[in-house]
Amino acid sequence: MADLEGTCDARFADVADLLADNLASGEDLGASIAVTVDGRPVVDLWGGWADQEQVTPWRRDTITNVWSCTKTVTSLAALVLVERGLLDLDAPVARYWPQFAAQGKEGVRVRHLLSHTSGVSGWERPVTVADVLDVPTSTARLAAQTPWWPPGTASGYHLLNYGHLVGELVRRIDGRTLGRFVAEEITGPLGADFHIGLPDHEFDRVADVLPPPPRPVGLAGADPDGVAMKTFTGPMGGADESWHPEWRRAEIGAANGHGNARSLARIHSVIACGGTLDGVRLLSSRTIDAIFQQQSDGPDLVLGAHLRFGIGFGLPSPAVPYLPQGRICFWTGWGGSVVVIDTERRAAIAYVMNRMGAGQLGSARTAQYIEAAFAALD
């Protein structure tokens, strides 16, 4: 059993044992797990290695690319604007971003962007990762596109462009970029070590993610011009893209947030605790209620899985059997990172790692940790 650092309430001993076992076996290389209840940490554990060579330990302040868990923080930024009366979920996106009305998108609503139902789940090809890192140019390209399905009729996971779309609303309403807004309005006030757009002086704290096992050929035989194929290949990049300085510096609100489990749990404790944490008020109960308004329920056009989306977050569905029913919202990151918010238990759970695992909505390790955490909460 590997040594862990941090703190853990006795009732969460099974969570600690799982992490220690997975680190000892090599299933996890380096990782952190955090659980908060009523905003207070009851689990804050980390251990293992920050590098594949096993030279640098995973430390308290180690951070890594959390992939699509970034989307939850991006969503929270939009919800802060909703709370302040500056963003209307039922308004056309074009009210704030006139160019977005092009090519039949005048009816796309703000709630469609936040629930992956806008019809714009990726870029028209050809497009490269370098193109996506040029956020102003690649965002303008999205505004000029034709939707790939009738907006609002189904979800199609906005894999890499979610932050471009939502972040542009933030920028046009507030004037600040998404990363700066998050830093000044969310993570700064909460004291959370999370970054969308990482400064160079923080690079030495980053644990590079290790690519997951090769994906099954899930797109074999798929329509080359279908929604899934266009989304996954526009662009198609590997996990090692996140090792590059250009990736770290960019503000990719769908995929390049850097943080750890502690920071993700801290941020999302605001939702778990009714919108206020340690005197920082970001949301009201009414805005939190909007998260749980179901916007779609069925096979996702990109991922293929049966998903339910609310506003900005996934809701429990057949695709995530490790989540109990209840007033729960969540999302995962490629390879296994996850953040789960339970407003009934007033709990937030997060897991962040550098050895990416197989699986579409979390890895086998993700399921282990989340199930153990809920068993302790119950």
Q: Are strands 314-315 and 195-196 parallel, antiparallel or unpaired?
A: unpaired
The CA distance from 201 to 204, in Å, is 7
pTM here?
A: 0.98
Cα Rg, the chain, nearest whole Å: 19
Amino acid making up residue 332: T
Residue-level pLDDT at 353: 98
Give the model confidence (pLDDT) of 53-98 as tens digits.
999 999 999 999 999 999 999 999 999 999 999 999 999 999 999 9
Residue-level pLDDT at 217: 46
Those residues of the chain that have pLDDT short of 50 are 217
Tokens of 251: 């503000």
The CA distance from 377 to 349, in Å, is 11
| Cα four-point dihedral sign 197, 199, 205, 208 | positive
- Which single residue is written with the structure tokens 């594949």? 52
User: What is the rounded (10 degree) CA torsion for 362, 32, 195, 117?
Assistant: 20
- Sorted by where each starts, the structural domains of the chain and their CATH numbers stand as 5-377 (3.40.710.10)
Determine which one of 32, 68, 269, 363 is catalytic. Answer: 68
Residue-level pLDDT at 213: 84
Count how many Cα atoms sit within 13 Å of the Cα of residue 127 in the half-sphere of its side chain.
24
Catalytic residue flag (residue 285): no
Amino acid making up residue 321: P
